[in-house]
Amino acid sequence: MSTPYRLWEIQERSNTGPQCDEDEFLSKIFSPTLQKIVKKYEIKYNPKTPVPADDDLADRVWKAGWELFQEVGLYNTDTHRIIKVSDDEIKEALYVAKDQYWVGAGKDAVLWKHRKIEDREPPFCLFSPDCTCSEELHYSMCLAYLKEPLLDGFCAPILEDSIGLKIRSGSPFEINACTQHIYNLRLAAKQVGRPGVFLVAVGTAEHDSGQIAVSNENWGVRTTDSRLIGTLTEFKTADTLLNRVVHCAQYGCYVGNLTGPIYGGWCGGSEGVAVTLVAYSLNGLCIHGAIYNLHFPFHLNLASNTTRELLWPIAVAGQAMARNSKLLYKSGGYTNAGPMTEMVFYEAACHALVSTVNSWHLWEIGAARNKHRNRTTPLEARIAMEVGHAVAGQGMTREEANDIALRLLSIYEEQAATAPLGKEYQECYDVATALPTQEHFDMYRKIKDELSNMGIEFLY
């Protein structure tokens, strides 16, 4: 399915669905339902096994996620109504969904396919710094990432200022910044010889007006590119998000469903996060018309997802979706440590390893908890993608991945709360050439050698 599922029938449910006060949706509907379903399907987290090899557990998580989505629906904060999708509609949407898409254009087009558990096909590698950056560094960052050979797609850093002016959501300043964002991105892609590369744009747009303003085949976001449409945590939407659903459907670009279920929040623990990831994927398919899901579950206090309590739901949810659907889904990584630290490379490698073996495609990587301006570089994403290609190519099993994940966790997990912030982009890269400093590259090379000694068979 390349078009939204029953677009207007679904949209109308924002006006006709069950009414509910916003304050009661999470506390009286979502969270109690999730707790009941987790208990019903006997889903239990085992911290000793961040990568389980339990197919029955995966199938129970799939059933639980389906039931959660079908019972809870999606709450519209503007209309105070719940968009509900029936059991038969979920089945129909899954039946007509496609398991592969060509994305990007011309010589740069890439076939993006559904992956299985322990799949030997490499993951689709979407490089993304995910953080905000200074206006004067934005173009250099775009160049640096687009130079990466394993890059199948790119999502650029986010502007907070444009032509020296602070961006305000929904204002003319946002439209101007979104225009600058896509111009930088398209020019950088052309300069590195990848004019048709698949782009997910534009992250600078917070409001629907900014996103809609840059839909243009000649200079803006093309129909061969993608937009992300977020879900408000947890299981909420708003008209400004649904406006994007309709616009993207009618414009004709690809849509990704963006979700970040929170460990320690309304989802509860690892079990609830795993179930919610599956439910969010069904929401993306049925309500957002998404061809893929981008999931970045994260810890309420740490704001990262490289510790075992987040790696477990990533692994289990990936297995659940691989065994029971043909959906496309990406695993978005958030590390605790920042660039030019050994810890960030260990974290990136572990996140990519667990995700890849358990059927995910990769979206890497938000460094330093994705909270600090300019604090990201392509090298931590590069090592993650190289790990993804390596473990797929060698046919790594879940049991083997679990052993290596435990070794990596023993190196960095105790430092999660006190992780070093590292350095900013301009301290790790030459801004003019968009290439890493020798110090930064040497650290990356050192960690790559260590990973090789642990059993990761890099292809080069």
Q: Which residues pair with 362 in a beta bridge?
A: 125, 331
| pLDDT of the residue at 373 | 96
Q: Is the pLDDT of residue 197 over 90?
A: yes
What is the CATH code for 101-235+324-454? 3.20.20.460
Q: Which two tokens stand for residue 217?
A: 């085949």
Q: Which tens digit of pLDDT belongs to each residue from 30-61?
A: 999 999 999 999 999 999 999 999 999 999 99
DSSP state of 107: G
In Å, what is the CA distance from 144 to each residue of 24, 148, 161, 419, 427?
46, 7, 20, 25, 14
| pLDDT of the residue at 411 | 98
In Å, what is the CA distance from 318 to each residue of 78, 217, 259, 327, 419?
32, 34, 15, 10, 27
SS3 helix, strand, coil % of the chain, rounded to 5? 50, 15, 35
**Does residue 234 have a cis bond before it (omega within 30 degrees)?**
yes
Question: What mean pLDDT value characterizes the chain?
Answer: 97
Residue type, 79: T
| pLDDT of the residue at 128 | 97
The band of 4, judged by pLDDT with boundaries at 50, 70 and 90, is confident
DSSP state of 25: I
Q: Is the pLDDT of residue 3 over 80?
A: no
Q: Which tens digit of pLDDT belongs to each residue from 122-166?
A: 999 999 998 999 999 999 999 999 999 999 999 999 999 999 999
Task: Report residue 118 CA to chain centroid gap.
Answer: 20
Task: Report residue 36 CA to chain centroid gap.
Answer: 27
Q: Is the pLDDT of residue 114 over 80?
A: yes
Q: Rounded to whole angstroms, how far apart are CA atoms 65 and 272?
A: 9
Mean pLDDT, rounded, for 89-115:
97
Domain ranges for the chain? 101-235+324-454
| pLDDT of the residue at 1 | 60
